[in-house]
């Protein structure tokens, strides 16, 4: 290595090291004490043990080498921790966590029980975290109140009722982006100034819903159970959002397939949204998404969504885009005029939605005079007149 290289300013060496692959960094850090310090910062900048064995080695290093531990900015835990020796591994991870004073992002996708290791630590730089729903959540967030992005992961083995009620007393003044189940959102979101909210329904409702439908013709009892299951969307949550978050810009509901079409629940949800968006003057994007595999929508689905987005747009002048369960992105033009497009780049889906939309407007031009005027400008008077004749 040319001696002039090591005489470069530390800032330049650091910029170079940030672009060097990990294997080369490991070799480079052995060549010079000064380079060792620079390389170490990037070797341990983003650590993600992929197996328990790798985790044991990493945590031992972070315990023994404070400089390496101080270099960690992003920690991801995603291996199946239920398969490891729980107590000894937990103690090791706890000792390593106590050294992570520069941690900025924590992505924890493992056993909720082992998450207690992190719950009692204060990470002064932590701003972004992905954590499981657990009874330790309130303790963790109370010790790390400067979190700006929070993603709460549903645990299929743990009921939502396991949420610690102390969440309601939390104050997260820096929170700007929240994603998680509705009951956690209801506890946390109103006490923040969050701008982006994503609400996830509990996916376990789907199997129960299927069982209830199978028994619904024989007794009235499943009807009541079905009604209870369908209350997974939370009217109180919507009104909490409406009352406390006038600065909200993005609102996203996931797993809305838990509100089956034909029961009236999806339509009722849309009606409630119409009331809520009226008090969200800065709302730009609204999404209501199913978790099912995509199937082409029926014309009735698009018609229902078209009515909904026009009603929302009339109540919320700032609203510009809506992504709904038919996998259709509705975009706003001037005034309260909306048009559909496929959320995917599939050309056939794009053309099908456009054809449906033109047919709708052409079939009832007096109901949509502004749209009809725009179509005349885009297609020309003769082509538009032909479409009107074909659809009348």
Inter-residue long-range contacts of 369-372, CB under 8 Å, 24+ positions, other chains counted: 370/335, 370/337, 371/337
Q: Is the pLDDT of residue 9 over 70?
A: no
- The two tokens of residue 181 are 């189940």
Q: What is the pLDDT of residues 118-167, one digit of tens each?
A: 988 999 999 999 998 888 888 999 999 999 999 998 765 555 555 555 77
- Mean per-residue pLDDT over the chain, rounded: 76
- DSSP 3-state of 344: coil
Q: In this predicted structure, what is the pLDDT of residue 28?
A: 59
Q: What is the widest separation between alpha-carbon atoms in the chain? A: 86
- The two tokens of residue 63 are 């315990």
Going from N- to C-terminal start, the domains of the chain cover: 1-43, 45-194, 201-290+309-323
The pLDDT-based confidence of 252 (bands split at 50, 70, 90) is confident
Q: Are 354 and 328 in contact (CB under 8 A)?
A: no
Cα 392 from Cα 374, distance rounded (Å): 19
Q: In this predicted structure, what is the pLDDT of residue 390?
A: 73
Of the two residues 242 and 325, the one the predictor is more confident about is 325
Degrees to nearest 5, angle at CA 249 with 248 and 251: 80
Degrees to nearest 5, angle at CA 323 with 319 and 328: 125
Topology of the domain comprising 45-194: 3.80.10
Q: In this predicted structure, what is the pLDDT of residue 193?
A: 83
Q: In this predicted structure, what is the pLDDT of residue 311?
A: 93
Q: Could you tell me the pTM of the whole model?
A: 0.74
Cα 319 from Cα 248, distance rounded (Å): 11
Q: Strands (DSSP E) along the chain, which ranges?
A: 46-47, 74-77, 105-108, 128-132, 149-153, 177-181, 196-200, 250-254, 285-288, 321-324, 328-332, 338-342
Q: Which residues, including other chains, have CB under 8 Å from residue 52's CB and lie 6 or more apart?
A: 79, 81, 83, 84, 89
Q: What is the pLDDT of residues 332-362, one digit of tens each?
A: 988 889 999 887 777 888 888 888 988 888 8
Of the two residues 274 and 203, the one the predictor is more confident about is 274
- The two tokens of residue 344 are 């995917």
Q: Are 200 and 154 in contact (CB under 8 A)?
A: yes
Q: What is the pLDDT of residues 158-210, one digit of tens each?
A: 555 555 557 777 889 899 999 888 778 878 887 788 889 888 765 444 444 34
Cα 320 from Cα 336, distance rounded (Å): 9
Q: Is the pLDDT of residue 297 over 70?
A: yes
């Amino acid at each position: 290595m040319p001696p002039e290289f090591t005489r470069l300013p530390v800032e330049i060496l650091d910029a170079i090291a940030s672009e060097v692959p990990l294997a080369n960094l490991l070799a480079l850090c052995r060549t010079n004490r000064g380079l060792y310090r620079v390389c170490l910062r990037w070797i341990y900048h983003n650590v993600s043990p992929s197996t328990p064995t790798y985790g044991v080695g990493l945590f031992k290093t972070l315990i023994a080498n404070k400089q390496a531990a101080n270099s960690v900015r992003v920690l991801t835990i995603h291996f199946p921790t239920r398969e490891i020796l729980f107590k000894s591994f937990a103690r090791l991870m706890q000792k390593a966590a106590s050294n992570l004073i520069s941690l900025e992002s924590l992505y924890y996708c493992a056993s909720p029980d082992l998450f207690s290791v992190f719950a009692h630590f204060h990470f002064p730089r932590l701003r972004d975290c992905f954590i499981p729903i657990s009874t330790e959540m309130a303790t963790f967030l109370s010790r790390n109140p400067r979190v700006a992005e929070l993603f709460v992961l549903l645990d299929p083995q743990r009921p939502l009722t396991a949420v610690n009620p102390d969440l309601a007393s939390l104050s997260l003044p820096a929170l700007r982006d929240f994603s998680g189940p509705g009951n956690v959102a209801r506890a946390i979101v109103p006490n923040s100034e969050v701008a982006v909210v994503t609400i996830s329904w509990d996916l376990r409702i789907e199997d129960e819903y299927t069982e209830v439908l199978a028994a619904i013709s024989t007794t009235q009892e499943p009807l009541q159970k079905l009604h209870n299951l369908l209350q997974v969307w939370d009217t109180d949550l919507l009104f909490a959002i409406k009352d406390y978050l006038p600065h909200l810009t993005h609102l996203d509901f996931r797993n809305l397939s838990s509100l089956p079409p034909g029961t009236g629940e999806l339509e009722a949800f849309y009606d409630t949204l119409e009331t809520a968006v009226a008090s969200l003057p800065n709302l730009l994007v609204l999404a209501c998404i199913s978790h099912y595999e995509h199937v082409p929508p029926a014309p009735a689905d698009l018609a229902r969504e078209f009515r909904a987005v026009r009603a929302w747009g009339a109540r919320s002048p700032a609203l510009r885009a809506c992504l709904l369960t038919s996998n259709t992105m509705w975009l706003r033009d001037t005034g309260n005029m909306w048009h559909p497009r496929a959320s995917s780049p599939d050309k056939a889906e794009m053309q099908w939605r456009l054809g449906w939309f033109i047919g709708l407007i052409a079939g009832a031009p007096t109901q949509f005079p502004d749209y009809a005027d725009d179509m005349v400008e885009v297609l020309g008077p003769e082509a538009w007149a032909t479409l009107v004749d074909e659809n009348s």
